[in-house]
Amino acid sequence: MSTNLEILEAEVLQLAPVERSRLLERLIASLDSDPDVEEVWEREADRREAELESGLIATVPGQEAIARLRAKLQR
């Protein structure tokens, strides 16, 4: 006899990839619900946004950032 979890898993695996991805994001978000952690991340996001807007720091294109990290890892 199948458990509810096994039944649910079988049903979820029948969803389109984009729907499974959306469900996964919602499930993960439901686990990350510590208000203290959320507040700290919000402050950090605000701080980074202010740095960008003030010109204190500059953005780097994603591909360039990845290339830089790969170069550092190869050293």
Report the domain count for the chain: 1
Domain that holds residue 51: 4-74
Cα 50 to Cα 57: distance, rounded to the nearest angstrom? 9
Digit-coded pLDDT (tens) for 6-62: 999 999 999 999 999 999 999 988 887 788 888 999 999 999 999 999 999 999 999
Contacts by residues 30-34 (CB-CB < 8 Å, ≥ 24 positions apart) = none
Identify which of 75, 52, 13 has the alpha carbon closest to the alpha carbon of residue 60: 52
